[in-house]
Amino acid sequence: MTLDDATPETEEASSVAPEIVDSQDELEAQVVVVEEVTELSPSEIVNQLEPVSADNLRSAVEAILMITDVPISIMAIATALERPVTEIRDAINSLKTDYDGEEGETPRGFELREVGGGWRMYVRADYDWAVKMFVANENPTKLSQAALETLAVIAYKQPISRGQIASIRAVNVDSVVRTLHSRGLITELYTDSESGAIHYGTAPLLLEVLGINSLDELPLISPYLPDANSNFDAV
The CATH number given to whatever domain includes residue 104 is 1.10.10.10
Query: Does 65 lie in the same domain as 34?
Result: no
Residue 210 or residue 135, greater confidence: 210
Query: Does 83 lie in the same domain as 22?
Result: no
CA distance 35 to 33: 5
Cβ density class 119-141: b for 16+ within 10 Å, e for less: bbbeebeeeeeebeeebeeeeee
CA distance 64 to 67: 6
Whole-model pTM over 0.85: no
For residue range 91-119, list pLDDT tens digits in order. 999 999 999 998 888 999 999 998 878 99
Full residue range of the structural domain in which residue 112 is found: 49-123
**Domain presence at residue 218:** yes
pLDDT of residue 177: 92
CA distance 214 to 144: 24
For the chain, what is the mean pLDDT? 77
Last residue of a domain, one of 70, 105, 123: 123
Query: Does 28 lie in the same domain as 117?
Result: no
| SS3 assignment, position 33 | helix
**Domain presence at residue 164:** yes
- Cβ–Cβ < 8 Å for 168, 152: no
pLDDT of residue 69: 75
Q: How confident is the model at residue 224 (pLDDT cuts 50, 70, 90)?
A: low
CA distance 59 to 130: 26
Query: Per the structure, how many domains does the chain have?
Result: 3
**Domain presence at residue 28:** yes
Last residue of a domain, one of 123, 151, 177: 123
Residue 116 or residue 26, greater confidence: 116
**Domain presence at residue 69:** yes
**Rounded to 5°, angle at Cα 20 from 14 and 24:** 145
pLDDT of residue 17: 45
For residue range 161-216, list pLDDT tens digits in order. 999 999 998 888 888 998 899 888 999 999 988 888 899 999 988 888 787 888 88
Identify the CA nearest to 178 among candidates 88, 97, 94, 69: 69
